[in-house]
C-alpha cells in the first residue's frame, strides 16, 4: 500500500466524527463525481484496460502468419592446417618440383565468411492462420465484454460504498441524537428522583439505556470508518459531505420481463461466453486444418568468400541466389493431430454448454435482485409509516409521563422504537438503491456512458481498430487472407461484434431540491 493511500485510509478513520450536525455545503460531493473519479483512476479498471490492450496484440500476432519473414544470417570461420616433414614423408610425399621442399609440408591458414538473406512468404496455410485469426478476434471481443463486466463491478462498488457511507453517516446522526435525548432523560430522571417522585430503579433504567446508546454510537462510528475506508479504496479519495444519491428510474425497466430480455441481450458475462465459444470453434477448425498442406514461397541470396595464406583471392568469392515454392504435406505424426482435434472439439462443447450455464446464472441474478428491489421498496413504505407512527408515539409517551400516565421505562421503550424505525428507514433506502444498481449491472446498463456521459469515455474497440494496419502490414496480406479463409474444407467462424444498446441520457443528475 502506498504512503499516500495509507494516509487517506487513516484519515478516513480519524475524521469520522468531523462535520456531523453541520449543514451540508453547497459544493457537496455527488455520486456522479465519485463515479467519474473512479472511472478515470481506479487501479482495477486501469489494469483491466491495460490487459485488454495486451490481448488486442494477439490479433496482430495471429495475422503475422500471412506476412513475409525476412532473416539475415552471417558466419565467419578460421582454420589452420600444418603438416610437418615427418608426416608428409610418411604419407609418401616427395619433392616433385626440385625446390628442396617436400610437397604437402607446411602450413595453410584459411578464413571463411558467409552471409545469407532469406525471404519466406506464406501462400496458403490450409486455413491454419485463418482459424488462428478468427480465434484471436473472438477472444478480443470476449475481452471487450469482460472489460464491461469489470467496469460494472467497479461502478457497483462505487455506488454501494457511496450509499453505505451515507447510511452510516445518517446512522451516526441518529445514534448521536439518541444519546442526547437519553442524556436529558437521565438528568430529568435524576432530578425527579432527588425530589422523591420516582425510585432509584427508574434512574438505573435511564442510565442503562444511556450506556447502551453510547456503546451503539461507538459501533456505528466504527462502521462508518470502515465504509469510508472502502470508499477511499475504490474511488481514490475520502468521502466528504455526500449529496443525496440521484434516481436510477430512467435506467430501470418497467417490469421484470423487460429486465430478463435486456440481460439476455446485453449482459457482458453472457456475451463474453458466446465469444469464447466462437473462439474455441475457431480453434477446432485450426486443429482440423493441421491435416492440410502448407504452401510457401522462398527466396534466398547467399554470399561467400574464402581467404587463404592471408591473401585475398577474388576467385574464392561466390554469390548464389534461389527462388522456389515449397509444399509441405503432413502424412503421419503419431496421432498428434487427431488428439488435438478431439481435445478442441471437447473444449468447444464445454464452452457451448457454458453459454446456457451463464444464461441461467444471469437470469437467477436478475430474479434475485429484482425481488430484493421490490422488497426494499415495500420496506421503505413500511418504514416511513413506522417512523411516522413511532414519532407520534414517542412524543405522546413523553407528554403522558409528565402527567403520570406513563412510566420511565415506557418513555425509554418509545424512544428505542423510534430510533429503530429511523435506522430501518435508512437501511431500506440503501438496500433499494443497491438492488437497483445490481439489476442495472446484470442488464449491462451500468456503464460510464450511461452514468457520467460528460467525461471522456474509454473506447476499447477504437484501440483494436487502430491495430488493423500497423508495422509489418503488407498490401498482399489481404488477398492471401481471403484465399486462406475460402480455400479450406474447415472454414473458421467469422466473429463479428454483437449489437450494443445505445447510451441512455441524461446520466446521473442530482435530485430536485426539496
Closest CA to 190 of 206, 177, 178: 206
C-alpha cell of residue 380: 421503505
Tell whether the torsion through CA atoms of 335, 340, 345 and 346 is positive or negative. positive
Q: How far is CA 268 from CA 51, 59, 99, 209, in A?
A: 17, 21, 93, 51
DSSP states of 349-373 as a string? Answer: HHHHHHHHHHHHHHHHHHHHHHHHH
Q: Domain 29-67+138-292+335-486 sits in which CATH superfamily?
A: Outer membrane efflux proteins (OEP) (1.20.1600.10)
Residues 355-394 have pLDDT tens digits of 999 999 999 999 999 999 999 999 999 999 999 999 999 9
Lowest mean pLDDT among 291-300, 307-316, 462-471: 307-316
Say if residue 5's pLDDT is above 60: no
Contact by Cβ (8 Å): 282, 493: yes
In which band, very low, low, confident or very high, does the pLDDT at 309 lie, cut at 50, 70 and 90? low
Backbone dihedral region of 92: left (phi > 0), alpha (psi from -120 to 50 degrees) or beta? left
Preceding omega of 506 cis (within 30 degrees of 0): yes
Preceding omega of 119 cis (within 30 degrees of 0): no
Q: How far is Cα 341 from Cα 330, in angstroms, rounded to an integer? A: 15
Contact by Cβ (8 Å): 280, 348: yes
Q: What is the pLDDT of residue 279?
A: 97
Phi, psi values for residue 298, rounded to 5°: -140, 135
Contact by Cβ (8 Å): 138, 22: no
Q: What is the pLDDT of residue 77?
A: 84
Q: What is the pLDDT of residue 401?
A: 83
Query: What global pTM score does this model have?
Result: 0.85
Closest CA to 48 of 268, 232, 363: 268
Q: What is the pLDDT of residue 353?
A: 98
Residues 200-254 have pLDDT tens digits of 998 999 999 999 999 999 999 999 999 999 999 999 999 999 999 999 999 999 9
In sequence order, the 6+-apart residues with CB closer than 8 A to the CB of 402 are none
Q: How far is Cα 509 from Cα 287, in angstroms, rounded to an integer? A: 53
Residues 322-333 have pLDDT tens digits of 999 999 999 999
Say if residue 308's pLDDT is above 80: no
Phi, psi values for residue 512, rounded to 5°: -65, 145
Q: What is the pLDDT of residue 318?
A: 80
The helix or strand, by DSSP H or E, that contains position 476, with its residue range, turns out to be none
The helix or strand, by DSSP H or E, that contains position 165, with its residue range, turns out to be helix 128-194
Q: How far is Cα 152 from Cα 440, in angstroms, rounded to an integer? A: 9
Amino acid at each position: 500500500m502506498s504512503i499516500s493511500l495509507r494516509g487517506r485510509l487513516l484519515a478516513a478513520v480519524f475524521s469520522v466524527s468531523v462535520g456531523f450536525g453541520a449543514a451540508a455545503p453547497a459544493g457537496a460531493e455527488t455520486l456522479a463525481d465519485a463515479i467519474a473519479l473512479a472511472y478515470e483512476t481506479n487501479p482495477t479498471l486501469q489494469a483491466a484496460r491495460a490487459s485488454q490492450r495486451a490481448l488486442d496484440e494477439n490479433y496482430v500476432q495471429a495475422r503475422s502468419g500471412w506476412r513475409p519473414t525476412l532473416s539475415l544470417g552471417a558466419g565467419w570461420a578460421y582454420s589452420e592446417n600444418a603438416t610437418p616433414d615427418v608426416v608428409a614423408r610418411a604419407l609418401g610425399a616427395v619433392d616433385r618440383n626440385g625446390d628442396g621442399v617436400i610437397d604437402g609440408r607446411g602450413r595453410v591458414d584459411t578464413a571463411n565468411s558467409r552471409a545469407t538473406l532469406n525471404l519466406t512468404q506464406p501462400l496458403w496455410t490450409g486455413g491454419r492462420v485463418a482459424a488462428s485469426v478468427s480465434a484471436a478476434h473472438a477472444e478480443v471481443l470476449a475481452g471487450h465484454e469482460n472489460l464491461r463486466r469489470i467496469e460494472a463491478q467497479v461502478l457497483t462498488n462505487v455506488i454501494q460504498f457511496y450509499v453505505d457511507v451515507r447510511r452510516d453517516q445518517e446512522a451516526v446522526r441518529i445514534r448521536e441524537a439518541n444519546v442526547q435525548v437519553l442524556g436529558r432523560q437521565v438528568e430529568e430522571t435524576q432530578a425527579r428522583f432527588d425530589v422523591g417522585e420516582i425510585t432509584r430503579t427508574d434512574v438505573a433504567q435511564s442510565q442503562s439505556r444511556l450506556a447502551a446508546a453510547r456503546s451503539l454510537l461507538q459501533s456505528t462510528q466504527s462502521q462508518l470508518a470502515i465504509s469510508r475506508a472502502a470508499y477511499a479504496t475504490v474511488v481514490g479519495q475520502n468521502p466528504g459531505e455526500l449529496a443525496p444519491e440521484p434516481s436510477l428510474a430512467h435506467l430501470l425497466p418497467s417490469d421484470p420481463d423487460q429486465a430478463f430480455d435486456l440481460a439476455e441481450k446485453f449482459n457482458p458475462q453472457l456475451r463474453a461466453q458466446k465469444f469464447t465459444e466462437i473462439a474455441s470453434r475457431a480453434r477446432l477448425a485450426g486443429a482440423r486444418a493441421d491435416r492440410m498442406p502448407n504452401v510457401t514461397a522462398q527466396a534466398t541470396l547467399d554470399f561467400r568468400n574464402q581467404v587463404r595464406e592471408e591473401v585475398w583471392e577474388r576467385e574464392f568469392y561466390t554469390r548464389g541466389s534461389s527462388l522456389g515454392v515449397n509444399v509441405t504435406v503432413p502424412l503421419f505424426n503419431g496421432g498428434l493431430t487427431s488428439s488435438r482435434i478431439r481435445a478442441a472439439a471437447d473444449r468447444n462443447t464445454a464452452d457451448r454448454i457454458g453459454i446456457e450455464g451463464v444464461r441461467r446464472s444471469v437470469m437467477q441474478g436478475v430474479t434475485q435482485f429484482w425481488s430484493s428491489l421490490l422488497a426494499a421498496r415495500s420496506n421503505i413504505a413500511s418504514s416511513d409509516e413506522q417512523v411516522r407512527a413511532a414519532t407520534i408515539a414517542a412524543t405522546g409517551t413523553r407528554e403522558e409521563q409528565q402527567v403520570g400516565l406513563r412510566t420511565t421505562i415506557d418513555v425509554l421503550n418509545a424512544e428505542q422504537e423510534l430510533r429503530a424505525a429511523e435506522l430501518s428507514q435508512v437501511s431500506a433506502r440503501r438496500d433499494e438503491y443497491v438492488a437497483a444498481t445490481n439489476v442495472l449491472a446484470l442488464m449491462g446498463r451500468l456503464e460510464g456512458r450511461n452514468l457520467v456521459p460528460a467525461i471522456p469515455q474509454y473506447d476499447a474497440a477504437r484501440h483494436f481498430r487502430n491495430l488493423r494496419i500497423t508495422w509489418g502490414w503488407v498490401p498482399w496480406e489481404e488477398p492471401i487472407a481471403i484465399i486462406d479463409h475460402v480455400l479450406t474444407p474447415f472454414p473458421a467462424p467469422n466473429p463479428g461484434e454483437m449489437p450494443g444498446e445505445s447510451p441512455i441520457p441524461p446520466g446521473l443528475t442530482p435530485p430536485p431540491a426539496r
